[in-house]
Amino acid sequence: MTFIKPYLIRLTHCDPTGQVFYPNYFHLFNALVEDWFYEAIEVRYDQFLMERRMALPTVRLETTFTKPCRMGETVDFWLTLSHVGRSSVRFTMGVEKDGEQRARMNRIAVCVDQNTHKSTPIPDDIREKMLEFMRE
């Protein structure tokens, strides 16, 4: 399954030329992951972080920028999962406008216990929702 979220590119995302300043893509892709938690797999990301004391830090990141996004455009950010392991998850994400790719990201994140700062298994209830998302 693919989670798609339209975003309006705002002034705050852009450099003086009106194009998204490339580091801001990382903020936007991170917001996409949070939205995916809340909307697609229906897991409260705030509870995952603050109550369960877990996190999903990035351990590997590869990004390709193909065409700039501009202030005032509404673009589609999308997310798929390519792998869900015991403690890691691989996200493939992109941003498109009218079917034309603007950027693409491959991200590997590892579930971490915030108290020990060590890798820990993805909780079974969340892992099952991730796997279900992949199957759809």
Q: What is the pLDDT of residue 136?
A: 85
**Number of Cα atoms under 13 Å in the Cβ half of residue 104:** 8
pLDDT in single tens digits along all 136 residues of the chain: 999 999 999 999 999 999 999 999 999 999 999 999 999 999 999 999 999 999 999 999 999 999 999 999 999 999 999 999 999 999 999 999 999 999 999 999 999 999 999 999 999 999 999 999 999 8
Question: Phi/psi of residue 38, each to 5°?
Answer: -65, -45
For the entire predicted model, the pTM comes to 0.94
Q: In the chain, what are the domains?
A: 3-135 (3.10.129.10)
Query: In what helix (H) or strand (E) does residue 65 lie, and over which residues does it extend?
Result: strand 58-65
At 131, list the tokens.
Answer: 């796997």
- The string of DSSP codes covering 32-46 is HHHHIIIIIS---HH
